[in-house]
Amino acid sequence: MSLDLEMEEIHKIFFEESFEGLDVMESSLLNLDVNADRETIATIFRAAHSIKGGAATFGFMEVSNFTHGVETLLDEMRNGTRPVTPEAIQLLLQSVDGLREMVKAVQAKQAIDAKRIALLADEIAQLLARHPGQLAEAATAAVVVAAAPGPVSSASGPADAAPEFLAGGPGWVIEFQPHRDMLKTNNEPLRMFAELERLGALRSTAIVAEVPSLGSLQPDACYLRWRLELAGAVERHAIEEVFDWVDANSTISYQLFGGGVADAVAAGVPPGAEPAADSELAPLAVIAAVADTPLVAAPVAASVAAAPAHKGAVDAGSIRVSTTKVDHLINLVGELVITQSMLSRFADGCSPDELEKLREGLTQLTRNTRELQESVMQIRMLPISFAFNRFPRLVHDLSRKLGKKVELKLSGEGTELDKTVLEKIADPLVHLVRNALDHGLETPEVRLAASKPETGTIELAAFHEGGNIIIEVKDDGGGLNRSKILQRARERGLVAADAELSDEQIHHLIFAAGFSTADMVSDVSGRGVGMDVVRRNIQDLGGVVQISSVEGRGSTIRIRLPLTLAILDGQLVRVGADTYVISLVAIVETIQAQKDRLNAVPGGAELFRLRDEYIPVVRLYDMFGVEPDSRAVEDGLLVVVEAEGRRFGVLVDDLLAQQQVVIKTLETNYRQVTGVAGATILGDGTVALIVDVPGLVQVFNASFTGRDTLAA
């Protein structure tokens, strides 16, 4: 692999970790809005510090320099020298947005929006100037600079007497020799020492023996090393966390003074090691890992890595797969190889006595193939949290803008669905949540007047139901105004003046293109504006959207989606000599067609009376230009499907089996055909077209005036 390709792979790791760190910063800042605990601030600080260090390592100095100001603000909040205020949190959230844009620009090798970043940096500087922290002064006071030369003491050397500073009590002596280029990555010793001082009384001695003459001194090189004496019963892991970002390129030794066996074990002494006497220096360990050139940025801390990823982590060209899934896949391939070996003995023929063995081998092959298919599909499955995790920030920002109090409840974030479905469902969900915020939930005053809690609730839930995934968006707002929707639909000519519609039919009117009941369209959303696009996007995924609403109590929008777009649960139907596949999700029922229940209407359409409603009839042979067994309605079967909130009857000659089919797109090898979602290869080797029900209905509606067909 060439150096350029190797660096490109390393950069890719940096970008992935940076996006994960930014996602953690954002989610933690939103939690900080409610609970300003020190651990949350520390998590945000570590993520920012990791991004800054990695950016500096790779020469992305614009990112590193901007993050430095963010880190300073977080550090003062973490140390308690700056209060956690809504103003600071909002500015940090905006900084996360700016950092995300910068990293994306660097990743795409595009220019950074310098004006926007400069404005954010100026706001941070102004905030720091208005309420200056005491960090620098505290850190400087903790440092004693001495010119006493001497080598860095080795942890493996003889024990020394306890320093007077520790006064015979428990404590640590830390020898810290940083890498010469440590300052180039924006790591500051004063910050580390200030952090150590929070753990206990600290005395720092700088050893300046290696500082060159002024003419040879490089201003960005670190020539100092330090001897740090930390008093107090401090656990070792707490000290190691302070040096977490520099230990890979520095030499550090930790030595414990005083304390009993329990203290030594708590401080990190391995089991079985001899504890130190009260007055002796106990050598513990040396962390020495000096590299010539750091290649990869310091990884995000465990608490950061464990946090859920944001939408930005879902990359269109790659996917992260757990080793458990990969191991399972490898095991299945091994089983398949064994089965192939069993069947290979029958390549030259099979005697009657061996027929049972052949059947067993084929059964095993079928089982292995099915398990392998399921395992491969699992690799494409991602938790829906990748889509859900954008909404806390969205709700936070819009509720402030609209002056509403909103609580967001998420459930089922671990529910998995196909990566492609996950990417395409994100935008429709955003639109639905924005609608719920803007026109679903009332203002606190209106809610209190209606005897409701002033804080409204939006619920996002995901769960499995049968072979599909269900996503629900609920709000406890004002609900859909039935009379207003019906009035607006009649004004636009969508509904006849004397038409009587059910609640379900009225609710589905909001999916009409450009339909809205809003008296004034805001810049956030208008309930109904763009809902036709939402439904179309969901239908493109093979899904169905339903609405239920109670006026004054709220609305629920329910989306039913297939788990994957690569495999379809379908019903095979026959028209003449051709076989077609209709998604089971779209099928309501199948009935025997009766001629006396069929009525012709002007324009060439036919309506079939199905109980208390009339449904249009789509003759599939006409739409695809094929010859059926019979053109008489009573000789065929009517497959009732649902699309665009209405039911249609698709006339076919016969029903065949129900089975899972693997979808092959037509666009790759031919072109897009309206009304056809793709094709599949059946068990006998023949090709069957997969019917796109919404597209078929669109062509059918257009064919009233001109008898278009889908024959290609």
Would residue 278 count as lying in a domain?
yes
Q: Which residues pair with 257 in a beta bridge?
A: 171, 281
Residue 468's Cβ-side half-sphere holds a number of Cα atoms within 13 Å equal to 18
> Is the model's pLDDT at 528 over the cut of 60?
no
Q: Kindly state whether residue 709 falls inside one of the protein's structural domains.
A: no
**Which carries the bigger pLDDT value, residue 19 or residue 283?**
19
Judgement on whether residues 555 and 668 belong to the same structural domain of the protein: no
- Predicted confidence at residue 154, as pLDDT, reads 34
Identify whether 460 is part of a domain: yes
Q: Is residue 19 part of a domain?
A: yes
State residue 517's pLDDT score: 64
pTM of the model: 0.56
pLDDT per position as a tens digit, 274-301: 333 333 333 322 222 223 333 333 333 3
pLDDT at 519: 58
Boundary residue ending a domain (546, 562, 578): 562
Query: Max CA-CA distance within the chain?
Result: 108
Average pLDDT over residues 662-678: 79
Q: Which amino acid is it at 638? A: L
Confidence (pLDDT) at 200: 85
Shared-domain flag, residues 460 and 585: no
- Please check the confidence at residue 459 and state whether its pLDDT lies above 90: yes
Three state DSSP letters for 118-160: HHHHHHHHHHHHHCCCCHHHHHHHCEEEECCCCCCCCCCCCCC
Per-residue pLDDT for 427 more than 90? Answer: no
Predicted local confidence at residue 143, as pLDDT:
35
The whole-number average pLDDT for the span 672-686 is: 83
| pLDDT number for residue 162 | 63
Average the pLDDT over 448-475 and give the result: 89
Average pLDDT over residues 39-45: 86
Q: What burial letters (b/e) apply to 436-448, b meaning 16+ CB within 10 Å?
A: bbbbbbbebeebe
Q: How many domains does the chain have?
A: 5
Are both 83 and 145 inside the same structural domain? no
Q: How do residues 166-180 score in pLDDT, each as one tens digit?
A: 766 788 889 888 888
Q: Are residues 392 and 477 in the same domain?
A: yes
Asked if residue 590 and residue 445 are part of one domain, the reply reads no
Alpha helices in 380-461 (DSSP H): 385-388, 391-402, 419-435, 444-449
Q: Tell which wins on pLDDT, 144 or 171.
A: 171
Question: 153 with 259, same domain?
Answer: yes
**Mean pLDDT score, 603-611:** 83
> Helix, strand or coil for residue 540?
helix
Residue 172 falls in which region: left (phi positive, over 0), alpha (psi -120 to 50) or beta: beta
Query: For 49, left (φ over 0), alpha (ψ -120 to 50), or beta?
Result: alpha
As a whole number, mean pLDDT of residues 574-595 equals 89
The pLDDT, as a whole number, for residue 661 is: 83
Q: CATH number, domain at 458?
A: 3.30.565.10
Q: Clarify whether residues 194 and 255 are in a common domain.
A: yes
One domain for residues 30 and 171: no
Domain boundary among 97, 116, 132: 132
Both 514 and 429 in one domain: the answer is: yes
What's the token pair of residue 643?
Answer: 């699309």
In this predicted structure, which of 19-28, 364-373, 468-477 has the lowest mean pLDDT? 364-373
Same domain, 42 and 150: no
pLDDT for residue 132:
52
**For the chain, how far is it from start to end, CA to CA, in angstroms?**
47
> What mean pLDDT is predicted for residues 291-320?
40
For residues 339 and 526, the model is more confident at 339
Looking at 100, 132, 164, the residue that finishes a domain is 132
Q: Using the 8-state DSSP alphabet, how is residue 161 labeled?
A: B
Can you tell me the mean pLDDT for 246-250? 68
Report the pLDDT value the prediction gives residue 566, as an integer from 0 to 100.
72
Q: By residue range, what is the domain housing residue 63? A: 3-132
Higher pLDDT among residues 450 and 712, named by residue: 450
User: Which run of H or E residues covers position 590?
Assistant: strand 587-592
pLDDT at 636 over 80: yes
Contact 200, 232 (CB under 8 A): yes
Average pLDDT, the chain: 77
* DSSP one-letter string for 458-488: EEEEEEEETTEEEEEEEE-S----HHHHHHH
Query: Can you tell me which residue has the tokens 């992935």?
Result: 16
